[in-house]
Each structure stands twice: as structure tokens, then as C-alpha cells.
Amino acid sequence: MKWLKGKWLDLGSKAGKHMQFKETYDRNTKIYTYEMKIIKVVAGDAGGYRCEVTSKDKCDSSTFEISVEAAHQEEHEDILSAFKRADAGEDEGDLDFSALLKATKRKKKPQKVEPDIDVWELLKNADPSQYEKIAFDYGITDLRGMLKRLKKMKKVEPKHSEAFLTRLDSCYSVEKGKRIVLKCEVVDPNTQVKWLKNGQEIKPSAKYVMEASGNVRTLTINKTTLADDAAYECVVGDDKCFTEVFVKEPPVTITKLMDDYHVVVGERVEFEIEVSEEGAHVMWFFEDIELHRDKDTKYRFKKDGKKHTLVIQEATLDDIGMYHAWTNGGHTKGELEVEEKELEVLQDIADLTVKATDQAMFKCEVSDEKVTGKWFKDGVEVLPSDRIKMSHIGRFHRLTIDDVKPDDAGDYTFIPDGYALSLSAKLNFLEIKIDYVPRQDPPKIHLDTTGNMVSQNTIIVVAGNKLRLDVEITGEPAPTVVWSKGDKAITETEGRVRVEARKDLSCFVIEGAEREDEGNYNICVTNPVGEDKAVLFVKIVDVPDPPKHVKCISVGEDCATMTWEPPKFDGGVVVKGYLMERKKKGSSRWTKLNFDVYESTTYEAKRMIEGVFYEMRVFAVNSIGMSQPSNSSKPFMPIAPTSEPSRLTVHDVTDSTCSLKWLAPEKIGAGGLDGYTIEYCKEGDTEWVVANKELCERQGYTVRGLPVGEKLNFRVVAVNIAGRSLPATLGQPVTIREIVEHPKIRLPRNLRTKYIRKVGEKINLTIPFQGKPRPVATWYKDGQPLDPKMVNVRNSNVDTILFIRHAEREHSGTYELVLQIENLEDRATVHIRIVDKPGPPQNLRVTDVWGFNAALEWDPPKDDGNTEITGYTIQKADLKTKEWFTVYEHNRRPNCTASDLIMGNEYQFRVYSENLCGRSDEPRFSKNTAAIAKTGLEMKENPYKEKDMNCVPKFTQPLVDRSVVAGYSTAISCSVKGFPKPKIIWMKNKMIIGEDPKYLMQNNQGVLTLNIRKPSTFDGGKYSCMAVNELGKDEVECKLDVRVITNPDKK
């Protein structure tokens, strides 16, 4: 789509602050809307504009005019200003009503109500000699002030100069780097002109070449640049002619597309693109709003060579949306997603071990001071009391427990409001007991089944976390503790997996738990009295493995459907769902597609750009966390199927075939069009049969092998890389049966008269016809069948061709075409005449010689070449020199007089005949010669007889019957001779035609013409023309038939 000014100026290169262009598309109505906006209109914007839309081989345009008028303020006319003094020194401008004062008082007569009259309009249109009278009538006394104001009101019309014959065009357009020529014509070829650019005189140089050739003055500008985009003038004395040159920049394309961004609130965003030309103009838009370089906005724009960058210093939630970059030859867009800032834990909660009556305080620090939260103990919310207190000061959150009791032991968790985050720690209660036990006591393992123990013997540990298991041991004497995993004993006291011994406690520690640490652990305590054993199962849970085989299974106009396989290892915990990210191919920036966990393994990504390659990756999420990203999918491109084909129609139907025609889809898109699939089914059936095995590339197809008499539905589907479009269907089923159509010959207009060709030329007559089933075409010449050796005939379903390779005289004749379908037929006749050069004239002789003249006569040639003789060429030759000279060319009569012959010479003559093909090959020589006698000889002159010119009127050419079409002007003509000049009377149906404006009668030296303007059926009848003089009269008549052509389609 283009916006043009004048004939050829493309306004796309003028996009900027002064002109803005906008394109929108409504998916519901499928209507494109294009807008052109002119900011701060100036006088140069006036003129004719054109909006041109092209699509493949179709083009449409709409023109409009823009008029620019100077801004003016409404003036409130005050008649009192007419009475102000002018040029009166200090009193200038005061009102002067002295003319209205009267010496005596008189009775006032009632005034007649007169319509309001604008005095100044009356003065502007009046003759200057009437100014004083008008001023007196309307009471204006200050004549000088009146004349001054009237002078200002009158517009000074520009003087018309005769210095230029042809002025410069209103505007010129040229591509950057090309040459342009400004040309005008002046009246005086000796006039010197000046060329100005923006008011400054141009000096001749290699860039500006000024030339003068006769009346033409030219200015040539070589290798135009953007600096040559200016106004130019050609000055001759006081007269000027103006023009404006627009330098069109080459289309600037975008070589690096814009990336999508996903940031948190407060981060800096830089949308960067690269263009093909340095210094190119780039327009930035947020949704449909253009972003300008203002100090008050948060947007900043950077240029670095071909790189253009849009910078948002601190992104907010209001910045979420689509950002566009436009050049005069390209467009790209990127999406910005902004999410709330993640909460960071600056200080985690630590485990506590306290004694009875001591104080326990849990403390944590987060990054946001405004974040509130709740405390939980073993999953139950902790409520404040006299002994338990909670505080929030700045970034710190505290839970204080005074006078700790055994019931306070457990897992404590702090959960910030609005964040999927939790901080946990354990409160261990250290109880001091003094037990009086016997000296010998068998060993006993006391296991704590709270905390990480999900069952009596299972402990769950997150991979990477620390496991510390404190087991209380009792027995006297002190028992020996042995930890083992399977058959292997764990004796290390240092390292990642170790055992620590304390009084009455055995500590089992795993630093940075790994998947290999999972399994059954045995603890065995022994002393001389006995032993005790326990089995613990340590389960290591982790984030899941990344998903596998991410691929695109289908695409749409701005969407794509992705699928993947779940991870092989779920981390020991059920996978809650998935997070998806995408990026443009070649970019390094990934954009999140979902914030909430998506449970299915099939996802439809939307808001993508058609025709751009994308890649996607997937993260698996369980209760432990998020996996590593999957491998990127293969690049895919969102492409929509085309719209349905339009205007599906039935072109022809036979007993076994049906020919369909349609137009291409209105919207094809970036995927192009591969072809069409044609399908049909019986009426009432739902199973469609594909008619073409391979895609049909043309917009027409004939379905063959159809059952006779069946009613079938047809549909056509457009196919491209994205798949099938919606089908285009016929409104009603088609009955497969031959349609009988009467034969009709469409004889071309040029064959309705005699068809004349020269000997040796080719004859190729194509005569279209119609009829169903296929009619039989037969040719006849002069009533006899054609000889195939002389004439070739080729017939098709829609026309017949008569072909003669080398035309001869014997091919002339009347050819008749007979078109027949069973007992129906139609006939047409073609008259062909083959013409050739004529033979020489016959019996050329000199009939008389007198003075320096000789009279010649001859007979027409025997062979006229099958066409009428158009004239003769007469030549003479002196018998002494034998050199031939032409006396007459194109002489139409079979006689002539050769004059200006030279005395004393004897002449011989020859004559060529001429027709449509040219002059005869051979001349005819005169049988005798003409001898011009010398002077001194006496010549006896015959007495002059005055010829009697009187003649009765006689029509030399009669009127001819005519058949004309109603609504088209026509004329009937004849010719008459007579002396004295006869009076001409035209009649219609024996009624004299008077001064009727419908008829125009003309007489040009005896050729009479009656012109009838746009005749109707009422103008038909007999027309006659009568010529009358004093010697007699003569009359001719003809019949005029006026026919009305009706449109067979309307019938």
C-alpha cells in the first residue's frame, strides 16, 4: 500500500514528525485501515493525493485533494469605524458626526425597513466614480479613511506575465543518487534566466548544469542527495516559475529484528534493532502510540551507526505491551513482559537449641521492607500471646518465645505474604534430667519421629541440603554406637558423611545430600548388658530432570502448539507442572510464556509474529524447585493457512465432467500458496472425495469421471505450508448432465464487411462461437465445400480458424460458416477479396496537339487487380534524350493534357495504372508522338462558343437506405447539380423538416448532408430530398431504419 502526492511522489520516504502513517487490521471484519496524518499543515501540503493498493496482479487507487487556507480571525465589522478621522493630527481616530448635524428640526418620517447592506462589499464591487455617491448615501464623511481601508480589503491580483511558454511542473521526484532535469520554455530565445534554490542563486558546476537550447531552459542536478530536496525557481526578469524537488531515499530495511523482553519491576530495558542504512529515520511505537523524544518521557533513544535503541530506564507494570519500530521499508516488533520483583532472603532462620525457661528468638531478613508475613509451627499458625511475641522492623522479622517449654520444640516457618517462599528452622528443647538408675541398664535408642520423619523410619532430605540426625542413646555403662549403610560401616568423624559422638547423643551428618546418599541406614548400640538396633530410610528428593523432545506440532497465524515428554526422573516428588520460554532465532534473550505452573504437556503459545522463526524450551517444576531447561526445539515459524478461495463458480457441465473456476484467496500471508485441492460428495452425504491427486496450481479445474445425473456438491481448499484453508463451497448442488445451448456464431466486427488482403499475405480468421454440446463447424466457399489443399481449417470447442498461408486471387469469394448441433444451426458469411497490382492501361494515344500542349487518352486496363483503379501516373520523354519525367500522379480520369512542352521537341508518353496494391509493374506507351511546332507558323483558332451553364437539377448520387442503432448520431448524404443553384428541401415522410434542432442540414458544393442527432425509433421512416430551381426539380428518397439493441443477459 502506498501514499502518493501528485503523479509519482511516494510519501513513504517522508514519514517523520510532519507526516505519520498508521496501519490497523480488524480480525473480526477482516478489514485493513490505513491512515495518513499531517502534523502542522503548511501551504506546500496542498495538492492532489492518491492512495494506491496493490495485491499480486491487482491494483486499485483512490484520489483526493487537500486545500490549505491561511488561518484568519473573524473581524467584527463596526460601521462606526467609518466615521473615524484620518490624517487629522492629534484628533485622528476620533469619531466625526458633524455631517449628521442639521440646522433645523424637522418631523421625522417613519423610516422604511430596509434590508441590511454590507457597505464595504458594495464599495468593493462598485466603480470608483460611485464612491462619493455611496459614501453620501450611507453617511460616510471621512473619504480618505474610507479609501485607505478599501485599499487594504482589495486583493492585489498577480500580474500575468508572458515570459514563459511552459512553466515548471508543480513537483518532481527523484531517487537518491540519480539525476533529475528541470525544464521550462521561455518566449524569447535570447532571454537570460536565473535558477534559485530555496531563494539562493545556483552557480554552474559539475553538480548543477544549466543549458539553453532555443526556447528551452534546463537545470540538470547530478547525483542528488537529501540536501537537494528543496524548492527551485526559474527567474526571467520580474516573472518566476516555481517547483519542488523531492529526493526519495532508498527503502531502509531492518536487518536485525527486535527481541522480546521479560524483566522485573525496576530493571532497565533496551530494545535494539539494526537497519540497512546509517542515519535512517526510525519511528518507535508503544502499541498504537508513537514515542517522541521529549524530556518529560521516560523513554530514551540512541543511535550508533546502523544500530537504533529504545531505552526504558526503570520498567513498571504499565510498560507491559508490544513495542514497534518502523522504517520506510521495514517493520519489527517485540513484546515486553514485566513482573513483580522477586523477594530475596538476606538472612535465613537458624536452628535453635535452648534449655527450659530460656528465651528463643528466630530472626530473618528479606529484601523488601514492606513485605509482611506469618509464622507457623509444624504447619499451624503461631498467634501472639504474653509469652510469644512477633515483630516487623524494616527488613527484619522476629519471633520471640519467652520461658521456653518442652511443648515449644518443633519446626518453625516464616512465609512472606504474596510470595511462594518459606523460611524454616528447628527449635530443639534441651531437657536436663537427673535419673537414678541402676548401674547396669541395657542400651536404648530413642528416635524422634517429628520433623523430617514422614514415617517412623523414613527421613526426607532435599538434595544439596544438610542432614543432621541427633539420636538419643541411653544405657549403663555407656553403649557403643555403630552406624552402617548396608554392609558398610560408617566410622568417619570428618568429611561429607560423618558420625559425631556426644554425651547421650549420636549425631549422623550428611553435608550436601546427593542422590547416591539415598538408602537404608542401620544404627546398632551395644553394652555388656545388651544391644538395640534401628533402621532408618533416608530419601533424597531433588528438582526433576529437564523435559525431553520439545517439538512444534502445528502453527497458526500468530500461534504455535508445542508438545514434550515428561522428565525421566521426577526428583522423587510428583511433577507439579511446567514453565515455558521462547525466543526468536538468532537472539539470546528468552521470554517467559507462563507464570503459573502449566500441568499439561501440550501448550499453545500465542502473540507471535507471522513469518519469524522461534525456538522454545521447557522447565519441569516439582515441590522442590525447577529443573534445568530442556534442549531448544527446532526452529519453527508461525504461519497461517490462507483464507478460503473466493467466487467459486461452475464454468461448464457435461455428462461426465464439471469445470470449476475460482479466484485466489484474499489473504495469503507469509506462507504463500502451494495450490488447491478440489473435493466433491453426493448430495446428503458427508464423505468428501478428493478429485485431484496433486495440488492444482491454476484457478480452474475440470473434474472428470463423474456419474451422469447425480447431484454433487463441490468445494475448493487452498493449501500452503501451514495446512488447509477453510473450503469455498457452491451454494447448491450441481446436476451432472450436459446443458444444451443453441449454436451462436460471434462474428467479429471487422469480418462483417469485405475482408481485403493482398496477394502473398497470410489470412488467419478466428471466429468464436458458443453452443453445447460441442457444435460441428463446416465451411463452404461459394456454396461448395472447401478444398483442403487450398484452405486450412482448425476447429476447437469455442472457435474455428480459417488459415491461408499464401493468399492468391483464386481465394477470393464468399465463405459461409455453418454451425450445427443436431437439428439446430447458425450461419455466418465472410466476403474475402484478394487484390493484386493492376495491369497497364490500354490503347494510349495522343489525340490533339496545340501550342505547347498535347491531349492524351487511354482505356482502363484489362486486369484491375480485383479492385477498383484509384488513378494513373503519366510520364513524358523527349525523343532526343529519352529521359522520362512525371507529368501527373494519381490522375483519376482516363485522359489528361500535358502542358509546358518545349517548342521544337517531339514527345512520347507512357501511363501506369494504380490501385490499392500500388502502381502497375509495366507502363503502356503511346502509339503516336506529339511534335511541338516552332513559332512562325499560323494557327487557325476556332471561334469561341460560350457554353450554356443552365441545367435542370439532377441528383448525381442518390440517398441510400440506412439501418442505424438508436442513440448513435447518423447522417444521410447525396449530391446534386444544377444551375441556377437549386433550393434544397428535406422531408420526412413527405413532411418538410423545418428548423428542428434535432436535424442539421449542410450543403458543401453540391454535396448535401442531413445529420440526425441521437435518433430514436420514432425517427425512422422515409426521408427525401428535393432540389428545385426555375428550370425544374428532382427528388430522391431513402428508408431509415432505427433499431434498438437489447442485452441478451437481461433477458
Q: What CATH class does 548-622 carry? A: mainly beta
Q: Residue 445: which of 365, 355, 527 has the closest Cα?
A: 527
Which residues have CB under 8 Å from 203's CB, separation 6+? none
The dotted CATH code for 741-835 is 2.60.40.10
Q: Strands of 238-347 (E only): list them.
A: 239-248, 254-256, 261-264, 269-275, 283-286, 289-291, 299-304, 307-312, 321-327, 330-339, 345-347
Grid cell in block for residue 765: 480468421
Please give the model's pTM, rounded to 2 decimal places: 0.41
* 2-66 shares its CATH topology with 441-541: yes
Please give the pLDDT value at position 77. Answer: 43
DSSP string, 959-988: ---EEEETTS-EEEEEEEEEESPPEEEEEE
Q: Name the class of domain 951-1043.
A: mainly beta
Integer Cα distance of 188 and 212 in angstroms: 12
CB atoms within 10 A of CB 673: 19
> Domain 441-541 belongs to what architecture?
Sandwich (2.60)
Look at residue 453 in the predicted model and tell me its pLDDT: 47
CATH architecture of residue range(s) 254-339: Sandwich (2.60)
- Write down the pLDDT at residue 110: 44
Q: State the Cα–Cα distance between residues 595 and 598, nearest whole angstrom.
A: 9
Question: What is the grid cell recorded at 935?
Answer: 513559332
Instruction: Retrieve residue 902's grid coordinates.
Output: 518545349
Output the pLDDT for position 8: 66
Q: Which amino acid is at 34?
A: Y
Residue type, 293: R
Q: In which residue are the cell numbers 444551375 written?
A: 979
Q: How many angstroms separate the CA atoms of 973 and 145, rounded?
A: 72
Q: How far is CA 211 from the centre of its chain?
A: 41
Does the domain formed by 646-735 have CATH 2.60.40.10?
yes
Mean pLDDT in order along the chain per 10 residues (1051 residues): 76 73 76 84 81 75 81 48 49 51 44 57 78 77 74 55 83 88 90 90 92 91 88 90 85 87 86 86 88 80 90 88 88 87 80 83 87 86 90 91 87 83 81 58 71 62 80 81 84 83 81 84 85 85 90 86 91 89 88 88 89 91 88 88 90 88 87 90 90 91 90 92 87 86 90 91 92 88 89 91 92 93 89 93 93 92 92 93 92 93 91 93 92 74 82 93 92 93 92 88 92 91 94 93 75 45
User: What's the burial of 355, exposed, middle or buried (CB within 10 Å: 0-12/13-18/19+)?
Assistant: exposed
Q: Cα-flanking dihedrals φ and ψ of residue 864, to 5°?
A: -90, 5
Distance between start and end Cα atoms, the chain: 41
Domain 2-66, architecture per CATH: Sandwich (2.60)
At 102 the pLDDT is: 45
pLDDT at 769: 93
Return the CATH number of the domain spanning residue range 164-248.
2.60.40.10
Rg from Cα positions in the chain: 55
- What does the domain layout of the chain look like in residue ranges? 2-66, 118-156, 164-248, 254-339, 345-430, 441-541, 548-622, 646-735, 741-835, 842-931, 951-1043
Rounded CA-CA distance 968/1040 in Å is 13
Which residues have CB under 8 Å from 965's CB, separation 6+?
Answer: 1042, 1043, 1044, 1045
Which residues, at least 6 apart from 57, have a Cβ–Cβ distance to it below 8 Å? none
Residue 256 grid coordinates: 536485525
Check: CB of residue 876 under 8 Å from CB of residue 909: yes
Per-residue pLDDT at 448: 62
What CATH superfamily classification does 345-430 receive? Immunoglobulins (2.60.40.10)
In this prediction, residue 117 carries a pLDDT of 66
CA distances to 87, 239, 432 from 472, in Å: 123, 115, 13
Give the residue carrying C-alpha cell 472447401.
Answer: 786
Q: How far apart are CA 775 and CA 799, in angstroms?
A: 10
Q: Which pLDDT score, from 0 to 100, does residue 543 have?
A: 86
Superfamily holding 842-931: Immunoglobulins (2.60.40.10)
Grid coordinates representing 808 are: 492468391
In the block, residue with C-alpha cell 521479560? 262
